Amino acid sequence: MAGIGFELRKILRRDSLTGTMTAYGYAGLISAGPLILSIVAILLIGLLSLPVMKSPERIVQFQISVTYLIAVSLIVTGAMQLSFTRFMSDRLFEKQPERVLPNYNAVSLVTTAVTGALGIVLAFTAFRDQPTPYRLLMLVGFVIVSNIWIGVIFLASVKQYLSIIAIFFLGYGATLILSVSLNRYGLNGLMAGFVLGHLILLTGLASVIHRNYRSDDYIAWEVFDRRFMYPSLMFVGVLFNLGVWLDKFMFWFAPGTGQQVIGPLHASLIYDLPVFISYLCVIPGMAVFLLRIETDFVEFYDAYYDAVRSGGTLKHIREMRDMMVRSVRTGLYEILKIQALVTLLIFAFGDKLLRLLGISTLYLPLLHIDVISASLQVLFLGGLNVFFYLDRRLVVLSLTATFVILNGLFTWITLVIGPNAYGYGFAVSLMVVIFLTMFLLDRRFKSLEYETYMLQSG
């Protein structure tokens, strides 16, 4: 995301209330725009199809099927997301843009092969009792959505942020229109609309990629060369996505909280609705995170390393280090502050929000803890992002692995305790890893000059 800092700083130079609001809006749109578009589109498909569908449970089956496609594709492609991003960043830094497109094609081919093979295995095992059209649509949808994540990673890495938003708007607009148009064909019609809409989305991403990058080679396999692979980043990508979804999977399949929806797919009416609402509440925090980390922190980060490389005085280097530390603390504090305000609003008006959405107020206690959890997740992301800038991949790996273990352990404990503890497993696991992240960041910054020069001398 480093490239976005330049655009945000340019907006903030206006030094006006309008400029500040524009910067926050721009940051919020980039960080949460695709999330909002996808959630709104899937919700609208359900609402607009409700009067037409003879069996309303088909809408639930559609939404759960889509949720699994997104969750599993994120986890599976997590192995390539960060590693591929690092590969592209290094090649662009080396002024070798012609090596980017062929390796993107290679990653897309491997992603298609792996997800296609996995989808075929599942179609003939876990989904063997389902109708053939549904199995085929799930298979194709799985491959397409997985490739979408790779395309998004590519465009984000080359700073095509607004292109991503525009293509997602087009893709989910098409998904909405096609799904609603085909809803008279039941679940298969809804799934067909989803798959066709996402095919349009993927085509849009691919067209932007191929239009902006040229190469004499169509495909290259450097990204899979041992010299350019980053195993730590591959594990981080998988573990972070797994950690985010693990508690959901556990609630889906726990006997007391999950129900079978279609084939092997389960859902949890108790857990899913509050989680969904809570993730919409992190949009302000994501905007603050992107704005503060990618402007203030990156500015002093660049100044610090420029001073080191250019032989700046020790006093100047320490001043830049101190400003970098201060910017991190300020950024994390602002995330905490804005999310605390959002949380207070949910505590004050959450019952009215649930009634407005036609949801029982019995979900209110779980909504409260889920909003806190989602806010903590933004803080965790902020800390991890700083470690990525400092190139502390093993630290990030250890933190994400701890997150997975703790989320699994504490969620299991809450399932044993009962309904009064639901949601606290995810929250407590995030609190622990955030405290650990802050401790490690503080220690890292204290020894930053020493480690910088030791690495240089090595």
Q: 299-322: per-residue pLDDT in tens?
A: 788 888 888 777 777 788 888 888
| Alpha-carbon span 275 to 356, nearest angstrom | 17
Token code pair at residue 213: 């990058």
Query: Per-residue confidence at 1, pLDDT binned at 50, 70, 90?
Result: very low
Greater confidence, 381 or 249?
249
Average pLDDT over residues 197-224: 87
| Alpha-carbon span 249 to 137, nearest angstrom | 22
Rounded to the nearest 5 degrees, what angle is found at the Cα of 53, between the Cα atoms of 51 and 55?
120
Average pLDDT over residues 35-59: 79
| Alpha-carbon span 438 to 442, nearest angstrom | 6
Strand partners, 259: 267
Does 439 score more than 90 pLDDT?
Answer: yes
Query: Per-residue confidence at 391, pLDDT binned at 50, 70, 90?
Result: confident
User: 423: helix, coil or strand?
Assistant: coil
Q: What is the CA radius of gyration of the chain?
A: 23
- Say if residues 177 and 162 touch (Cβ distance below 8 Å): no
| Alpha-carbon span 364 to 347, nearest angstrom | 9
Positive/negative CA dihedral, 322, 325, 330, 333: negative
| Alpha-carbon span 284 to 371, nearest angstrom | 12
User: What pTM did the predictor assign?
Assistant: 0.87
Average pLDDT over residues 146-172: 81
Q: End-to-end distance of the chain based on CA atoms, in angstroms?
A: 29
Does 9 score more than 80 pLDDT?
Answer: no
If we measure between CA atoms, which residue out of 157, 170, 144 comes closest to residue 70? 144
Beta-carbon contacts of 274 under 8 Å, excluding residues fewer than 6 positions away, are 363, 366, 367, 370, 423
Question: Residues 347-372: pLDDT tens digits?
Answer: 998 888 888 877 788 888 899 999 99
| Alpha-carbon span 253 to 259, nearest angstrom | 7
- Say if residues 247 and 407 touch (Cβ distance below 8 Å): yes
Q: Can you state the angle between helices 283-292 and 314-356, rounded to 10 degrees?
A: 170
Does 426 score more than 90 pLDDT?
Answer: yes
Query: Per-residue confidence at 458, pLDDT binned at 50, 70, 90?
Result: very low
Ranges of each domain in the chain:
4-15+26-229, 276-457
Query: Per-residue confidence at 85, pLDDT binned at 50, 70, 90?
Result: confident
Strands (E), 124-223: none
Question: Residues 238-271: pLDDT tens digits?
Answer: 999 999 999 999 999 999 899 999 999 999 988 8
- What pLDDT, on the 0 to 100 scale, is given for residue 2? 44
Beta-carbon contacts of 402 under 8 Å, excluding residues fewer than 6 positions away, are 432, 433, 436
Greater confidence, 158 or 56?
56
Does 388 score more than 50 pLDDT?
Answer: yes
